[in-house]
Every structure is written in C-alpha cells, then in structure tokens.
Amino acid sequence: MHWSVVLMAMAIGGARAQLTAQSSVAPDLRECYTNATLLNRNNLPPTTVAVLIDIIRKIEDSPNVNVDLRQLAVSLLHTYRQDGIEFHQPDTSLPSSANVLPYAPTFHSFHRHRLLLARLIPNNLPVFANDTIPAVLKCAFHNMLSTTVDARVRSDEAACNQLSQYRAQRVPRALRASRARVDGDVEILDKSALESANRNGHMRQYNPNDDVEYAQVYGAKSERQVLGESTCPVLGGVVHSAWGALSAGAVIAGVAAGAESQQVPISELSRSALTEYSNMLVTSIYPATLSGDLAEAALIQGTERGSSVISIGAGGGWNSSQARRHFLLQTRLNLEMTDPEVRGDIDGFVLGSMLPRTLSTYGSLKLSQLLDMYYTAKNGVFDANIRACNRKLTAASTSSEELQRQTLAFAAALDSNMPLRGTITGGLESLVANAVTNYRTHVDNMADVNCVTTELTAATTRSKTNLYIVLDSAWQYETIYPAISYILDTIEVGKFGSSATLLSAFDGSVIINKTFSLADFHSHYTLSRHQSLLLGVNLLNTFTNVRTLMANELEEEKRLNYVGGNSSVLLFLLNSGNLQNNDQVLEQARKLNETVPDLRVLFATSTNQMDVLWNLVRDMHNDVQTIQLQSNGMNVETSLARVMDRINQAGRRIVNPACGSQWTETGLSGSRHFVDYIEPGYVNYYSVSPNYFFQNNDNRKVRIVRTGGGAGTFVICQSRSVARPRMNGTDSADQSAVKCELMQGAGASGSYEVSLRGACDGHWTVGACPNFYISVELPAQSNPTTTATCTEAGCRFPYNSRYQVEIEEFGCYSGASTAGATLMLLLTSLALLLMR
C-alpha cells in the first residue's frame, strides 16, 4: 500500500520532468499565457543578462532548491524552457471555448527542443515547484529561455525601420550583402525537385514510426497564416548584453550538456533516420547549441524553401534603448539561426566545453557566478579569453570539421522528428556544409564590441550604493522609466551591488521597498503602478518623511552593528516646475544633513531649478542638475552622465554604528570592522565623515587589513580633498593631495593604517572639517588568477580578494550638537575675554 503510493509519486515526478517537452503548453507555464498581466511583456522585468542572473540567484538561494550547477542548469531547462509556443487564432466560426488555450508549441524550434530535453539532456529529478519564484519572474524567465517567433501583425510596424536608432548591434548592410555572393557557388540538391516538392506540398503522411504527431501541427492555423505576417516579428528567448543580444536558452543548454557530456547514437534519437547516418554519434553539447540551429537551418531552408544556400543570421534590435523587452527581427525569412541564436549558441558551447575544467578549478561554482564571470568586462571565467567580448575569437578556434560532422548527424535525427514540407532524399551533407561555411562567415562579420574596446570603456569601480529615488509622478512613464532603468543598471542593483528604493515626491512615502533585486524592482514599478501615484511635489513632506526613514535606517544599522561598506544617495527626479522651497524645508534639509552625514542629496530636474533648490544640497554647482529626457527613452546615457558621475562620487561609508540616529557623544566605537572584496582591475572608494572624528582622539584610526588569499598587490590611497584618490589618478585635480602606498603580498600580513589623530584641527565646526577619503585598488593582472580564492557567501566572483576595514575609537559628533557646542564655547571665551 505504502509502496504503491511511493511508486506512484515517483512516476508522477518522472512525468512532470518532461512536461516542457510535450506538445502542449506545460501546465506550470500556462498562466503566462492565460493571465493578461503576465502575457504582456511590458509588465515583466526587462530581458537582460543582469535580470537573468538575478532570477537564477533567487532560484539558487531558494531554500527548497539544493542542487549543483549541472543539475540546476538541467532543471531550469526542464522547468522554464519551452521553445516554439505560438498563438493560434481560434476558428472564428466556432464559439470560443474557455477550455482551449490558443497557444501551442508549433514553431519549428520546438522539435529540436523536444529532442534535446527528452533524449539529450534528460532530467531525473522533479522540476522546480511552481512557487519557487513568483509568477511574474517565472514568466519573464520562461520568455528569456524559450526561442520562438511571434509573427502576428501588431500596429507598430511602421517603426520597424527605426530599430537601428536604438543602437542595435547588427552586421552592416555591406557585409550582409557580401554573403549573397555565395549564392550559386554551391550546387547541392536537385533544386528543381526540391522546389516542386515545395510547391506541391509534398508532405509526408503520418507514419507510426515517425516521432512526430502531425495532426496537431497542420490542424490549426497559426495567426500568422490567417492575418499575414508582421514585417518585423518579435523574437522570443532573447536577452540583452553589452556584447549583443543572445538566446539565453542556448547558453543554459550548453552548460547543462557540457557539464555531463553524452554521446548518443542517432538511432536512439530517431527511429526512422536515414540509414546511412544511423550509426553516427552525436555529442550532446552540439545539438544543444550550434548544431541544433545549424541543422534546423539546413533542413528547413533546404527542403521548405528549396534553397541551396543556407542563410545564417537574421538581424534585429530592441525597440527601446533601455529596459529592453521586445527584440524585433528585421526580416521574416530564414529565421532558423538568428543573430541572437548565433551568439547564444557560441556562448553556450564555449561555457559548456570549458565546464569540466572550470569545475576542477572551483567545484562549488554556481551557475549565476559562471554567467556573471562570462558576461562581465574584465577577468573572465578563470581565463581572460573566456568572456563574452571574446566571443568571435573563441568561435573561430572551434573546428569546422567536427561542427559539420555533428551537425550532419543531428540533422539526420532531427529530420524525422520535425514536420517538413519536403523530404530530404539526398544531399544533406552539402546543405550542412554550406550552413557551417555561412555560419563562420557570419561570425567573422559580426560587429559586437570586442575586448579591447570593452576594457577601455569599462568602469574602474563597482557601485555599492543604497539609492533612494524620489519620483515625481508628473513624468510620463515612457520618459522616466528608461532613465530609472538605466540608473539601476549602471549602479548594478544586485545581490552583491547596489540597492534601490522608490519614494514618492508627493510626500516621501515608500513606493517600492529597498531591494537588491533588479527583477523585483521592475516587476513592481509598472505603468499601472506609476499611474496610481499621487501627483505633485511637496518638498517639506518629502524631506520630513525621508528624515524619519533615514533615522530608522541608522537605528537599524546600530542594531546590526553595521560598520559600513555601502554609500547612500538620495536622488530627486522632478518634472514639475514651481517647486515650493521655504525656511521649513531648509530646516528639514539641514537636520537631515546634520544627522545623516553620509547621505548625498542630488536633484535632477527637467527644467533649471537651481535658484529654488541650491540651498538644499551640499555642492550647489554639481548636485542640482537639469536633465533632458525624451519621451521615447533615447538619449538617456548622455543626459544622465553628470548625475551618474555624482552618484559615483559618493564613497562607501565607514561609520560608527554606536551613534544611531541620536548622536549621543558617549558612543565611542572601540574596535570594529567589516569585510569587503575587490576584483582585479577595480578600485573601492571609501569616505569617512568628520561626524565620526571631529574632536580629537589619539588612537582613532582606520586600518585596511588583507585577510584572504589572492594574487596581486593592493594600492591604498588617502586624501582629504580628492573624493576618489587613486595612484596615477587622472580625475583628481591635485595629485599632491593624494597619498598612496602599496600593500605587498597576499595573506594576513598586509596591513595599512590611516591615523585620524587631529584630523579636524583648525576647523571650528563639523561642517567645516573635510571628509577623509580612502581607496583600495587591486590593479589588473597580466596573468589573471586561475584559482578560486574567494569562496565564501559574500564573494561575487571567486577571484575576488578579501580584506577588512577596521576602525578604532570612532566618536559621534552630529553637526547640530557640536556646531552649537562650539559656538557656545566661542561665545563663552569671547565673553570671558571681554570681561577681563
């Protein structure tokens, strides 16, 4: 009895494992197609590598998920990826039925997907539970992994030819044209035979030995057949990266296949494969990546279109410069291996092939880390060559012969698993050879950003900022949303980076709670949420409420014994004119300034408001900026450049948690520390406010102590006037105001001390005494580390170096109390002087 229950449960588990490989929409994914909110991609987080990694981290961190990298990749595919789902217009003559979902996996990409999941990357564990991540993230993730083409006519096709203005990375027309020359060079099949097969609908009849059910495929008409096709169809399964848009499903599949490579005979993939191929073996990583798409292209273009030249690569672009969600193709022909698929295939192939070596370097590497290391500007996956910017070179180093052999083998298997409008009777070799040749030419011509440019333009610091955005709802959502999205991307909101909090400019109330998750922020800050905000800007209420919020944060930091590590910035994004600033506002701003000394206040306004706002900030010349945002989100980068620069100028805080929000002067810190990490090629900047060292204490100091392994020499700099002190710095006006020292050697021996003794001598008030600025740099290494030295939970990358920031005897001097006290002292001594 009990046993039968267990067996039953196991059987159900086994069945669940392949629901995404079945020819209807998988049950857990159905709500992505039935719920109107989830169906509209504008309500889901943008499809970017950063959001993809964020969602993977959430799954990795989920208490119910306890699997290694390989199993995670496999389970992700089986749970969230289902290629080829298309809309099918229900027959209008029939009453629409609540029992029928007008979506089914019928696009060509589904057939390869099914073979992959059922035979090449099988899963023997149950798929992830439905509630592992919220529905919004589930659907976003499904969309990022699942390749399909939505060819329905929309209404915005007129804008299709403007895609290039969004800086879509695509092959210049001249280069594309050169491919056409290949046409005619290669003669493969009897072309006329193929063409007639094509015209006459030389379709196969249902054959019980075939692996395809035909009835469904040709039974219902997909809407593209009914309404005509869009001139720029939407390609699904694409994510944005700085190195070109790519198909994320192929990347995860490459990792899953590479982690446990399988050699599968063709006869196991297809019961009716052409006999001359049935003894061939296919290595799973090939069909999971490059060979999968190449085989599709060869088969579909070769049979259905009777083409002897297999066209590889179809360009396109995002219809937005920020917060990218819709990748529009520039063509509706030859979509078997689009540009994003080419990139995803190469990345998946490179990462998967490398994986055994990578895991031998660091066995407990996470999938999120692997992707993070690959899609980042510097250092790479334990090897500077294994980076997205190097894609073209790594692709060139793979063997064409093997690719051709594997593609041929897989094409032979796919042939009998995919309904085609023609039958291959010979010449498959030449179709495949042509596909591989054209693929290589196409990759050579791809114009993605290379590693040299990447490194030249890469930031030298990683933000770790708690950013509070005060939002004026007078902005059009279409205008402000791309700007906010850009800001969050730039400061790297994420588990190891920055956080974002959205406040209302109406009264300073919290719209979106502090979050370290890009996906969460975007799933909450939608058009409807924006439209529900109260209209108007009230600086008094806002400053008053922000002060309460910040006081609570300080109390929380006191409770947590937080010594520092993040910077904090309050950024107003205002569109309204006629701002009301008065003495009461100024009083609140002054109190905020005095009791939350490390909070940098910035204003970005659509019209010049300097005359009104200048007295609410520290540095009126730089902290009040005018930004010109356009309603289509263009121009965000240039418009926000100075604002971003100001955000970055705010150093990571080093604080005395004993002060809390009350600033009781007895709160000496004693000896405390926090841990921080640095990657090769980056600098961390810190800033200590005089509120912690105004009155003298001879033992007061900050110490940087290297506490972990890792190669390379630290460079530590300090300054009182240069906010970002750096050895050989270029942005520092006066290099003589910067003092630097090298900290040799790894291990606990390295230590550097900054004494704060008498640091405010000669200054009458806290406000007059400058901050102390400190930086820790780990210069880029010519031979990047090939070992994992940073394996604890706080390490974003395994090659990070760890150190401690230690403080001794920090005090508490709020601007208010000490300015007052000093003034009293001054007056008293003056009075004494006069009395004499």
Ligand X SMILES: *[C@@H]1O[C@H](CO)[C@@H](O)[C@H](O)[C@H]1NC(C)=O
Of 127-135, 215-223, 413-421, 525-533, the segment contacting ligand X by CB under 6 A is 127-135
Question: Could you say whether residue 255 binds ligand X (CB under 6 A)?
Answer: no
Question: Could you say whether residue 688 binds ligand X (CB under 6 A)?
Answer: no
Binding-residue total with ligand X (CB under 6 A): 36
Question: Could you say whether residue 770 binds ligand X (CB under 6 A)?
Answer: no
Q: Identify any residues that bridge with 90 across adjacent strands, giving them in sequence order.
A: none
In whole angstroms, give the CA distance from residue 162 to residue 232. 11
Out of 61, 91, 131, 444, name the contact with ligand X by CB under 6 A: 131
Question: Could you say whether residue 732 binds ligand X (CB under 6 A)?
Answer: no
Residue 319 tokens, joined: 């219809």
In whole angstroms, give the CA distance from residue 596 to residue 368. 35
In whole angstroms, give the CA distance from residue 804 to residue 470. 33
Whether 44 and 139 have beta carbons less than 8 Å apart is answered as yes
Question: Could you say whether residue 710 binds ligand X (CB under 6 A)?
Answer: no
Helix (H) or strand (E) holding 414: helix 400-415
Checking 10-16 for CB contacts under 8 A at 24+ apart, the result is: 13/125, 13/126, 14/124, 16/126, 16/127
CB of 432 to ligand X, least distance (A): 35
Out of 176, 590, 703, 763, name the contact with ligand X by CB under 6 A: 590
Residue 593 tokens, joined: 């300034």
Question: Could you say whether residue 822 binds ligand X (CB under 6 A)?
Answer: no
Out of 22, 23, 24, 37, name the contact with ligand X by CB under 6 A: 37
Question: Could you say whether residue 161 binds ligand X (CB under 6 A)?
Answer: no
Out of 17, 38, 280, 288, name the contact with ligand X by CB under 6 A: 38
Of 34-42, 296-304, 667-675, 782-790, the segment contacting ligand X by CB under 6 A is 34-42
Tell me, rounded to whole angstroms, the distance of Cα 757 from its chain centroid.
44
Question: Could you say whether residue 166 binds ligand X (CB under 6 A)?
Answer: no
Question: Could you say whether residue 720 binds ligand X (CB under 6 A)?
Answer: no
Out of 767, 781, 809, 817, name the contact with ligand X by CB under 6 A: 767
Whether 312 and 337 have beta carbons less than 8 Å apart is answered as yes
Q: Which of 759, 627, 783, 777 is CA-nearest to residue 704? A: 777
Q: Where are the beta strands (DSSP E) in 591-637?
A: 599-605, 624-626
Q: Is residue 87 classed as helix, strand or coil in its secondary structure?
A: strand
Q: With the C-alpha atoms ordered 822, 823, 826, 831, is the resulting torsion angle positive or negative?
A: negative
In whole angstroms, give the CA distance from residue 495 to residue 141. 18
Question: Could you say whether residue 321 binds ligand X (CB under 6 A)?
Answer: no
Minimum CB distance to ligand X smaller for 131 or for 183 = 131
Question: Could you say whether residue 584 binds ligand X (CB under 6 A)?
Answer: no
Question: Could you say whether residue 739 binds ligand X (CB under 6 A)?
Answer: no
Question: Could you say whether residue 244 binds ligand X (CB under 6 A)?
Answer: no
In whole angstroms, give the CA distance from residue 510 to residue 306. 60
Minimum CB distance to ligand X smaller for 277 or for 677 = 677
Question: Could you say whether residue 728 binds ligand X (CB under 6 A)?
Answer: yes
Whether 324 and 445 have beta carbons less than 8 Å apart is answered as no
Question: Could you say whether residue 276 binds ligand X (CB under 6 A)?
Answer: no
Measure CA of the first residue to CA of the last residue in the chain; give whole Å.
Answer: 104
Out of 518, 715, 743, 790, name the contact with ligand X by CB under 6 A: 715
CB of 222 to ligand X, least distance (A): 18
Question: Could you say whether residue 561 binds ligand X (CB under 6 A)?
Answer: no
| Contacts to ligand X from residues 505-534, by CB under 6 A | 510, 513
Of 87-95, 97-105, 131-139, 298-306, the segment contacting ligand X by CB under 6 A is 131-139
Minimum CB distance to ligand X smaller for 214 or for 562 = 562
In the shown chain, the binding pattern of residues 606 to 645 toward ligand X, with x for contact by CB under 6 A and - for none, equals ----------x-x---------------------------
In whole angstroms, give the CA distance from residue 747 to residue 570. 38
Question: Could you say whether residue 55 binds ligand X (CB under 6 A)?
Answer: no
- CA angle at residue 225 from 219 to 230, to 5 degrees? 145
Question: Could you say whether residue 571 binds ligand X (CB under 6 A)?
Answer: no
CB of 306 to ligand X, least distance (A): 33
CB of 37 to ligand X, least distance (A): 4
Question: Could you say whether residue 589 binds ligand X (CB under 6 A)?
Answer: yes
Compute the half-sphere exposure of residue 778: CA atoms within 13 Å on the CB side of its CA.
Answer: 24
| Contacts to ligand X from residues 435-474, by CB under 6 A | 464, 466
In the shown chain, the binding pattern of residues 322 to 361 toward ligand X, with x for contact by CB under 6 A and - for none, equals ----x-----------------------------------
CB of 727 to ligand X, least distance (A): 4
Whether 498 and 515 have beta carbons less than 8 Å apart is answered as no
Whether 791 and 798 have beta carbons less than 8 Å apart is answered as yes
Q: 10 Å Cβ neighbour count for 547? A: 20
239 Cβ contact list (under 8 Å, min separation 6): 47, 48, 49, 51, 52, 144, 245, 246, 247, 248
Minimum CB distance to ligand X smaller for 179 or for 524 = 524
Interface positions with ligand X (CB under 6 A): 27-28, 31, 35, 37-38, 42, 130-131, 135-136, 154, 156, 319-320, 326, 464, 466, 496-497, 510, 513, 557, 562, 565-566, 589-590, 593, 616, 618, 715, 727-728, 767, 779
